[in-house]
Structure 1
Amino acid sequence: MPSRYEMVSLDEISVGATDYARPRGYKILLAALAMILIPALIGAGFAAMATPAVLAASSTTEKVTDYWEAFPSDLPIAAALPQHVVLLDKSGAEFARFYNENRIPITYEQISPNFINALVATEDSRFYQHSGVDFAGIARAMVKNLTNDNRTEGASTITQQLVQNILISNARNDDEREVAKGDTYESKIREVKYAVALEKTMPKQDILSTYSNAVYFGNLAYGVEAASRVYFSSDAASLTVPQAAVLVGLLQSPVQYDPYARPEASQARRDAVIDRMLAEGYITAEEAAAATATPLTLSRGDTPSGCATSAYPYYCALVQQELLANVAFGATPEERQQNLSLGGITVTTALDRGVSDAATRAATDALGNDNRVAAGIAVVVPGTGHIAAVAENRGWNQTQVVYATSAQQPGSVMKPLTLVTALEQGIPITTTLSANGPYFSRVLDSPKKGYTNFGNAQLGNIDARSAIRQSVNIYFVKLIEQTTVMSVVDMSRRLGISTINTNEGDPAAVGPRTGSFALGTSSVTPVEMANVYATFAAGGVKCNPISIVSAVRTTTGEPLPTSAPECHQEISPAIAAQMTDALQGTFGGGGTLAGVGPLPGRETAGKTGTTDDSSANWTVGMTPNFATAVWVGDPRGGFAYPLTSVFAYGRTFFKTTGSAIAGRIWKTVMVDVHQGQPVTGFPNG
């Protein structure tokens, strides 16, 4: 005899019971539980026991009452069953969804009456008469179980089955899952108590719809809406009598009656459900005959899940990163993962499809999809923090790495961080410094051959505007001597760069003597760089870059907490205006972006970046409308695989600079996304 049917006394099982106020009529119910309910629900295994001993023990009604009342009655209904996470773009159109369980919750009104009728007729014909527990059904099951050694008959109502589904879904470990199955005395009593309590607080229609959303139909379909799509490429509201009967038939065994794998068994089970509908008066004899004469007709549908099925997989992955990393979505990584797994939320994002399409097209037109060299692009809307797009010249089947959030050495696009620090410290933009080299610093670490300019240029005495325009290394090393390295590190972090390594003891970390920090030797991401330049474009208003704008509970529309961009004045408008003015100079004569040129008719500012030994190229630039960062490099490692020979735009580029490929991609993106945008100027400060 299985150990789970071991006989125990009520004295044993009532240990620790708590005495609660007892509503009228409980003793009658509990007597029935003790004498009839438990042996019937447990089945033939219990019936084989010495039943008189159990009945004798059951006479201690007070003990049963205490035991009954020791169980809680508040079932965790809210968000109990895993659902979808649905992602919407800025216009409210869906572009991705993902889930652990393919479940699409719907209301009672969205379910075909054919399904409801088939469900009640087959699973719980007295559903509308009982109050959660069907004592007539229990008695019938007990008699059959006691008189039949080979077969057992259950007596669980739809309400009890719903309770069990919810308990299993909420189980946190194997022990709780085992209890939730309802195979023991204690778990069955708890299940019954939950069912009775549930019927007191939830209307019958709500129980039916919640149950219909909860149950498993096989082929990874949870709930009637997902099942309707998987088996019939339809929705639950449109289910015909034979279709509804197929789905209800699956509840007994989704594997045995799988219509794809076992069509004959499925059709036989379908016809048995139709017979039950006829017997219970839900359909006429003519309707039953027509339904059983209908061939088993399937139309396999699907509900795509995951970023791989999205037209915007990298933005989808960006949203997932934010959901798993930001404390707004859970205090701990475990809690955030649990919330994501449960789903049931609809997320509105900042994705601008037009911007994303333009960025992807520009990267692909330049480099193709199978180039060893990749491009990572990030576009941020100044003054909002909204990440309008992330894009690259790869397909999701090639890589799942989001290059826009991957840290790389940025080269000279970091030089404005030293300048803005100097301006805030009161060092004028007109400050003149000698830019001849090589230069060996007395206060900073220097390379063996000293700091040099690109092409070993000797430029004499120049000011900051000229140094930005021509991207002069020695000027910025001398400027960071005046500001101090750690002040520029602090400014970089204030403007949102979180990837700077300052860990003491790490040889690669940035320290007080790391003069090369001014030249962009510390890794950053394209999203971070786009957001820095967006701060300049917004008159010094810095926002946290976000992909998620808002979120709600899918079923109720209840707003959920999200991460705010927390926009605030980080640098003064006057300093931001000087920065945009200096960065516009790069498009003028002698500037590193002169060959690329500004956007026609628009104020345009930006900066190129070329890292040591051509390991990567960057261009970051902005208008008042958009800030865009473009990184170009070999994902395998820029120093091992430098950009000394790159096939792009139909020809080979040798020893590229930031404007050669990254600049052209940047210009293509920006021209495209500004179509129809209002023409405005940078804030004057």
Structure 2
Amino acid sequence: MSKRYEIVSLDEIASGARDFELRPGHTLAKAVAGILAISVLFGAAVAAVGAPAVIAATSSTTKLTDYWEALPSDLPIAAALPQHVILLDKNGAEFARFYSENRIPVAFEQISPNFTNALVATEDSRFYEHSGVDLPGIARAAITNMASNKRTEGGSTITQQLVQNILITNARNDDEKAVAVGDTYQAKLREAKYAISLEKAMTKHEILATYSNAVYFGNLAYGVQAASQVYFNTDAASLTIPQAAMLVALLKSPVAFDPYAYPEATQPRRDIVIDRMLTEGYITAEEAAAATAEPIVLTRGETPSGCAASPYPYYCALVHEEILTSPAFGDTLEARKETLRRGGLTLTTALDRAVADASLNAAVGALGYENRVATGTATVVPGTGHIAAVAENRTWGQTQVVYAASKFQPGSVMKPLTLVTALEQGLPLTTSFNANGPYISRVVDSPKKGYTNFGNSNPGTIDARTAIKQSVNVYFVKLIEKTTVPAVVEMGKRLGLTTLGEVGARTGSFALGTSDVEPLEMANVYATFASGGIKCTPISIIAGVRTTTGEAIATPPADCHQEISPAVAAQMTDVLQGTFRGGTLSGVGAVAGRETAGKTGTTDDSAANWTVGMTAQFATAVWVGDPRGGQAYPLTRVVAYGRTLFKTTGSAIAGRIWKSIMTDIHAGVPAVPFPG
């Protein structure tokens, strides 16, 4: 004899009032007939809720509550839907943002009641009465669908729709993906369980706000705030009745009712929403008439995304790269990409607009935007690792290459690496060599004709001060013989030259700067000297919070630590000041009223020019060269500062750009001496 069952209410289950058993006494035919209309819409799913025989067939228990309780309810509501990554300068002003979905979350209080009223009236009129699943609404929709012999009306509540939106983005397994699709009765049951659990965990206002932030309105606008900007160039809090009604109208089909593409279809649908607001008592007849009479007026607003839209695109690109490479944003590249995609972060960076503007003005003032010759500049704050600015004489439309983070042959700006290694090994600044050329070494590899000095000069026997001041090649080849090449290479890595390639143990030319390095790295090396030997990892991101909660997040550490002794660092800043006192930078001159140290670099065959120099407050590196390749396109005929230069050195262009930047960024800043 077959069992007979009694229909039970899902709302009763949600209330948890009592334990419902599948009790004999009612025929299955009677039960099925009672929920036939519901079954049309919910398929076997709602039949399973309304006619427990279906459940009994798939469950090992005769208790509906046992089956119901076994369904999962831990909806991943905490996993935010994709939002923006907002970049702020060091003073808290926004300069860029990224997003995979244009979504700007807002609280319930920041959404106009006109919108939430239109939403409830149209999408879920019993929203404030049900517990997440509206069986009367489902039955009504089912009857309507049966009468028309097709699906014309849905029965999902706002809460159920929110469940689907969350799971579409955050589904953790195949079951949750199935719930998001919602085309099986098991999926609809799970959706119902999630919705009821959600109603227990959140207030009605919280559900409305979360839903309003989640849904798609077309034209790449996710959430009501982004939609308000895209269609009306306003905020969600300011939406009028006709504006709010139009946005709710889009939810039925953002494509079919797109007001930009199909305005003739949008207004009738908007007016239906207005009529629903009137029917449900949210507006008066007079307000409805006025709203219906008002034409749809669109004012397209934009929320630019990416570095192309930033006034500081190359700094923006540095931040983007830092997010993708730093373990602070995920253990793997894929995890970091997901962090960037999901967003919801507001990141404060070290960008100093005054430094950035001075750098750009100096770069463009020297070479213009269309010059074949380019320059890349980088400025670091000693003792912090903070990248204050990068700049180049290019626009984002011309190139997306950040020259400050690209590798070029540095020339003589590398010579201080050999000297600092020697000082750390105990060799004094008075260490002297005969520095005449040509010189062929027996310790390190030499060119066929030996090492020579710039201009084939022969200074005789000199010490380190003179060698730095005059940038004497032979002296530094003899010095690296003493220190060994591997020791100098290791020093370079210790001081932050992380992109150094392999250097042979006999490569004496390493002392002269034949290995490619980045301007940003070189600025950081000199910043270590300027800070008394404190070496930091260069960082663009200095703090971060979750945008919606203000909760602090981990950001890349600068890892500042004493890498070389204060005494060695003090000797380096002391000797590097000599370049401005009768040395290669004497024509450029020190920053007025400041202790200033630095070095020029001129590579073989004029492939590139450099100047790297610092005060106690800023370290700036400037590279000048042809980005197509310095050997093929040397700096033998360069238009700079409005005239043609036929032969250039590190001070001719790079030095002047450096001086312009450093003079401007120190204006009004109290002078500080080097440590020690």
C-alpha distance after superposition, 1:595-648 (max 9, x if no partner) = 111111111100001111111110000011110000011111111111111111
| SS at 1:320 equivalent | helix
CA contact (8 A) 2:44 2:185 kept: no
Q: How many angstroms does 1:189 deviate by?
A: 1.5
CA contact (8 A) 2:250 2:257 kept: yes
Question: Are residues 45 and 165 of structure 1, via their aligned partners in 2, closer, same or farther at CA, if it must alter by over 3 Å?
Answer: closer
Q: How many angstroms does 1:148 deviate by?
A: 3.1
Where does residue 611 of structure 2 map in the other structure? Answer: 619
1:608 aligns with 2:600: yes
Q: Which moved more, 1:187-196 or 1:219-228?
A: 187-196
Where does residue 561 of structure 2 map in the other structure? Answer: 568
Question: Are residues 50 and 397 of structure 1, via their aligned partners in 2, closer, same or farther at CA, if it must alter by over 3 Å?
Answer: closer
CA contact (8 A) 1:47 1:145 kept: no
Where does residue 345 of structure 2 map in the other structure? Answer: 345
> How far apart, CA to CA, are the structure 2 residues paired with 1:372 and 1:126?
68
1:656 aligns with 2:648: yes
Where does residue 238 of structure 1 map in the other structure? Answer: 238
Where does residue 75 of structure 1 map in the other structure? Answer: 75
C-alpha distance after superposition, 1:562-594 (max 9, x if no partner) = 1121111111111111100110000111x1111
Report how many residues are paired: 654
Where does residue 634 of structure 2 map in the other structure? Answer: 642
Amino acid corresponding to residue 671 of structure 2 in structure 1: V
> How far apart, CA to CA, are the structure 2 residues paired with 1:72 and 1:57?
19
| SS at 2:212 equivalent | helix
CA contact (8 A) 1:41 1:155 kept: no
Where does residue 554 of structure 1 map in the other structure? Answer: 547
C-alpha distance after superposition, 1:210-250 (max 9, x if no partner) = 00000000000000000000000000000000000000000
Of 483, 486, 506 in structure 2, the residue corresponding to residue 513 of structure 1 is 506
Where does residue 433 of structure 1 map in the other structure? Answer: 433
Q: How many angstroms does 1:37 deviate by?
A: 12
CA contact (8 A) 1:552 1:559 kept: yes
Question: Are residues 487 and 437 of structure 1, via their aligned partners in 2, closer, same or farther at CA, if it must alter by over 3 Å?
Answer: same
| SS at 2:609 equivalent | strand
| SS at 1:579 equivalent | helix
Amino acid corresponding to residue 85 of structure 1 in structure 2: V
> How far apart, CA to CA, are the structure 2 residues paired with 1:385 and 1:26?
64
CA contact (8 A) 1:39 1:47 kept: no
> How far apart, CA to CA, are the structure 2 residues paired with 1:67 and 1:568?
60
Where does residue 538 of structure 1 map in the other structure? Answer: 531
Question: Are residues 464 and 259 of structure 1, via their aligned partners in 2, closer, same or farther at CA, if it must alter by over 3 Å?
Answer: same
Amino acid corresponding to residue 328 of structure 2 in structure 1: A
Of 35, 54, 59 in structure 2, the residue corresponding to residue 57 of structure 1 is 54
CA contact (8 A) 2:376 2:390 kept: yes
Of 656, 668, 674 in structure 1, the residue corresponding to residue 660 of structure 2 is 668
Where does residue 463 of structure 1 map in the other structure? Answer: 463
> How far apart, CA to CA, are the structure 1 residues paired with 2:429 and 2:92?
45
CA contact (8 A) 2:39 2:45 kept: no
CA contact (8 A) 2:376 2:392 kept: yes
| SS at 1:613 equivalent | helix
C-alpha distance after superposition, 1:461-517 (max 9, x if no partner) = 000010000111111111011111111111111111101112xxxxxxx02111111
Where does residue 141 of structure 2 map in the other structure? Answer: 141
> How far apart, CA to CA, are the structure 1 residues paired with 2:331 and 2:186?
35
Please provide the CA RMSD for this pair: 2.5
Where does residue 288 of structure 1 map in the other structure? Answer: 288
Q: How many angstroms does 1:264 deviate by?
A: 1.8
> How far apart, CA to CA, are the structure 1 residues paired with 2:616 and 2:605?
33
Q: How many angstroms does 1:71 deviate by?
A: 3.2
TM-score w.r.t. structure 2 length?
A: 0.93
Of 591, 612, 626 in structure 2, the residue corresponding to residue 599 of structure 1 is 591
1:582 aligns with 2:575: yes
> How far apart, CA to CA, are the structure 1 residues paired with 2:19 and 2:410?
73
> How far apart, CA to CA, are the structure 2 residues paired with 1:126 and 1:220?
30
CA contact (8 A) 2:375 2:622 kept: yes
Question: Are residues 100 and 553 of structure 1, via their aligned partners in 2, closer, same or farther at CA, if it must alter by over 3 Å?
Answer: same
> How far apart, CA to CA, are the structure 1 residues paired with 2:379 and 2:220?
37
Question: Are residues 631 and 660 of structure 1, via their aligned partners in 2, closer, same or farther at CA, if it must alter by over 3 Å?
Answer: same
| SS at 2:645 equivalent | strand
Where does residue 9 of structure 1 map in the other structure? Answer: none
Unaligned runs of 5+ in 1: 1-21, 503-509
C-alpha distance after superposition, 1:301-327 (max 9, x if no partner) = 111111000101011101001000111
C-alpha distance after superposition, 1:9-57 (max 9, x if no partner) = xxxxxxxxxxxxx96646479999x969998677469489999x98743
CA contact (8 A) 1:541 1:569 kept: yes
CA contact (8 A) 1:137 1:155 kept: yes
C-alpha distance after superposition, 1:161-181 (max 9, x if no partner) = 001000001147999656522
C-alpha distance after superposition, 1:134-187 (max 9, x if no partner) = 011122223233343133421100000001000001147999656522122222
> How far apart, CA to CA, are the structure 1 residues paired with 2:263 and 2:37?
33
> How far apart, CA to CA, are the structure 2 residues paired with 1:560 and 1:131?
35
CA contact (8 A) 1:42 1:185 kept: no
Where does residue 517 of structure 2 map in the other structure? Answer: 524
CA contact (8 A) 1:37 1:138 kept: no
Question: Are residues 57 and 48 of structure 1, via their aligned partners in 2, closer, same or farther at CA, if it must alter by over 3 Å?
Answer: closer
Amino acid corresponding to residue 552 of structure 2 in structure 1: P
1:422 aligns with 2:422: yes
CA contact (8 A) 2:179 2:190 kept: no
Amino acid corresponding to residue 617 of structure 2 in structure 1: N
Where does residue 274 of structure 2 map in the other structure? Answer: 274
